[in-house]
Amino acid sequence: MNIGIKYCGGCNPTYDRKSVVSGLKEHFNKGHTIETSKQGIVYDVVIILCGCSSACVSINNLEAKYEKICITSGNDNNKLFNIIDKINVLSLGRVIYMNLKEIYESKVITAEQAATKIKSGNRVVTGHACGEPTELINAMVANCEDYENVEIVHMVAMSESEYSKPGMEKHFRHNSLFVGGSTREAVNCGRADFTPCYFSEVPSLFNECLPVDVALIQVSTPDEHGYCSFGVSIDYTKPAAKKAKLVIAEVNNKMPRTMGDSFIHVSEIDYIIEASHNIIELKPPKIGDIEKAIGQHCASLVEDGSTLQLGIGAIPDAVLLFLKEKKDLGIHSEMISDGVVELVEAGVITNNAKTIHPGKIVVTFLMGTQKLYDFVNNNPMVEVYSVDYVNDPTVIMKNSKMISINSCVQVDLMGQVASESVGLKQISGVGGQVDFVRGSNMCKNGKSIMAMASTAAKGTVSKIVPLLAEGSAVTTGRNDVNYVVTEYGIAKLKGKNLKDRARALINIAHPNFKNKLIEEWEKRFRLKF
């Protein structure tokens, strides 16, 4: 970069111009050309030094391609150098990024080099769900001998989570905010930790309880303005990157460019590794007769013009199958999958009746196949925001006719819902369930639905039980639960006393377990069922 310096006319006779300029050259010698500005030359940047503190030097006749910076330092050279050190032309990024390519290239390193930037004792937050930066994580695991006690904070982990496997205890400690298939065993064996939290509050945890040393993220290639998109995962990933001391990005040319508040500028990234691999996919689940029956009951609660939140899995996908005759549905959801694309193409999801973000699908992450990723790429209909906005119950409630549909593992006869553990065994996490249950309950004409098969473990246990298994965490409290749906029908609990809500739940239990539940009901309420 070509830098011209202009200094003032000398109204301050004690101003030691010479030493300032030579000191400046020394301090600013970072591969840039720096000289006293000459008339007729257009510099990339002009720095104007004013020897007094009144910025009296005229800058009007100076030409700079990108930026004119005026520094008033008086005689305090140290103060001047301090300011200049802080400027560091490259890191000015957005102000003078005359040469984006240069800024980008200065940050590119190999995955192996990136792994060496992580230090023992660091807290590392990794990109979420299908946005997991797999090459960075693999390089970090391969470099494990260099680390002791690196904490890995992650939520839905889609890859193998090698850092939580036996043998890694000395190097890594996984702190899971949502247990999944690849981390369940580690958490339940005591090799990894689980931290209970609402999804909406995760960004605030990074402020208070879990300050971030390193954020490992995956983003799209930068656009012509230098902005990379977080693509399929903004959720807590963008907030983590905003707060981290060090941001290392896997820039993947296959990451879709999603809209909304989903961008990070290259100047905000410390190191870049370049990648070109397919985004992790979530294959569509098998939808059987039970899921179809549940889907049909849920769909019967959805009025035209409703805004929907749908979780992951066969039940939410089954609900979508029965919405084909509805009109003007909208989406404000933690995530969406492929099923939503079909309803948009069929003209069912228009988002036209939405009261906030009309015309837009609002989500915080995306999990599906390439079909979904192609649909969201550069699509202004889909806006992706951080989870502290999308999952904030006071935002969710602003939608009209908001309907949340989530799932659980057990419901007791009082309507208490366990979604994340069976006894002391941690199966998943609360995720956004309570955020959306609360938001939709607070919404005018809103409904929260808990949808589940009536049995688990191949039909051997009832999910509707007299008491939750000993040690189970209550995910959604009985005061928050509104509708419960199984393949046998719909139980509306809101406003019902304990006796009537228990009766409503027994009516949708599996026939094989009804008699036992009725026996319990009659004993508990001293009445005939």
**Which of residues 20, 294, 409, 449 is near ligand COA by CB under 6 A?**
409
Site of tokens 């260099």? 146
486 belongs to the binding site for ligand COA (CB under 6 A): no
Site string for ligand COA, 11-50 (x = CB under 6 A): ----------------------------------------
Q: Which two tokens stand for residue 311?
A: 């979780």
Judged by CB, which is closer to ligand COA: 288, or 358?
Answer: 288
Question: What's the CA gap between 500 and 524, in Å, rounded?
Answer: 12
Instruction: Pick out residues in 329-358 that bind ligand COA (CB under 6 A).
Output: 334
Scanning 13-21, 33-41, 70-78, 405-413 for contacts with ligand COA by CB under 6 A, the matching segment is 405-413
Q: Which residue type is seen at 205?
A: L
Shortest Cβ distance from residue 410 to ligand COA (Å)?
5
**Which of residues 131, 295, 368, 431 is near ligand COA by CB under 6 A?**
431
Judged by CB, which is closer to ligand COA: 95, or 473?
Answer: 473
Would you tell me the crossing angle of helices 77-87 and 17-27 to the nearest 10 degrees?
30
128 belongs to the binding site for ligand COA (CB under 6 A): no
Site of tokens 């402020």? 207
Shortest Cβ distance from residue 87 to ligand COA (Å)?
45
317 belongs to the binding site for ligand COA (CB under 6 A): no
For 379, list phi and psi in degrees, rounded to 5.
-100, 110
Shortest Cβ distance from residue 420 to ligand COA (Å)?
6
**Which of residues 463, 501, 510, 514 is near ligand COA by CB under 6 A?**
463
334 as an active site residue: the answer is yes
Scanning 35-43, 144-152, 394-402, 408-416 for contacts with ligand COA by CB under 6 A, the matching segment is 408-416
Judged by CB, which is closer to ligand COA: 43, or 199?
Answer: 199
Scanning 13-21, 77-85, 289-297, 400-408 for contacts with ligand COA by CB under 6 A, the matching segment is 400-408
Shortest Cβ distance from residue 184 to ligand COA (Å)?
8
Scanning 265-273, 318-326, 418-426, 493-501 for contacts with ligand COA by CB under 6 A, the matching segment is 418-426
The DSSP-derived string for 128-174 is: -GGG--HHHHHHHHHTGGG-SSEEEEESS--S--GGGSTT-TTTEEE
CA distances, 202 to each of 24, 154, 372, 413 (Å): 44, 11, 26, 31
Instruction: Pick out residues in 43-72 that bind ligand COA (CB under 6 A).
Output: none
Please tell me whether residue 187 adopts helix, strand or coil conformation: helix
**Which of residues 218, 237, 428, 472 is near ligand COA by CB under 6 A?**
428
Shortest Cβ distance from residue 388 to ligand COA (Å)?
16
Beta strands in 13-141 (DSSP E): 33-36, 43-50, 64-72, 123-126
**Which of residues 131, 295, 311, 330 is near ligand COA by CB under 6 A?**
311
Catalytic residue among 132, 250, 334, 487: 334
Question: What's the CA gap between 495 and 513, in Å, rounded?
Answer: 26
Question: What's the CA gap between 392 and 239, in Å, rounded?
Answer: 15
Question: Length of the chain, please?
Answer: 529
Judged by CB, which is closer to ligand COA: 210, or 387?
Answer: 387
Judged by CB, which is closer to ligand COA: 260, or 432?
Answer: 432
CA angle, residues 35, 37, 39, in degrees to nearest 5? 145
Q: Which residue type is seen at 177?
A: L
Burial of 14 per CB tally in 10 Å (0-12, 13-18, 19+) = exposed
448 belongs to the binding site for ligand COA (CB under 6 A): no
Q: Pairing relation of β-strands 455-456 and 461-462?
A: antiparallel
408 belongs to the binding site for ligand COA (CB under 6 A): yes
Question: What's the CA gap between 297 and 483, in Å, rounded?
Answer: 11
Question: What's the CA gap between 225 and 103, in Å, rounded?
Answer: 12
411 belongs to the binding site for ligand COA (CB under 6 A): no
Judged by CB, which is closer to ligand COA: 191, or 463?
Answer: 463
Question: What's the CA gap between 468 and 416, in Å, rounded?
Answer: 8
Shortest Cβ distance from residue 57 to ligand COA (Å)?
59
487 belongs to the binding site for ligand COA (CB under 6 A): no
Question: What's the CA gap between 206 and 99, in Å, rounded?
Answer: 33
Site of tokens 């020394």? 26
Judged by CB, which is closer to ligand COA: 156, or 216?
Answer: 156
Q: Which two tokens stand for residue 376?
A: 């969201």
Residues found near ligand COA in the complex (CB under 6 A)? 311-313, 334, 406-410, 419-420, 422, 427-428, 430-433, 456-457, 461, 463
- Active site members: 334
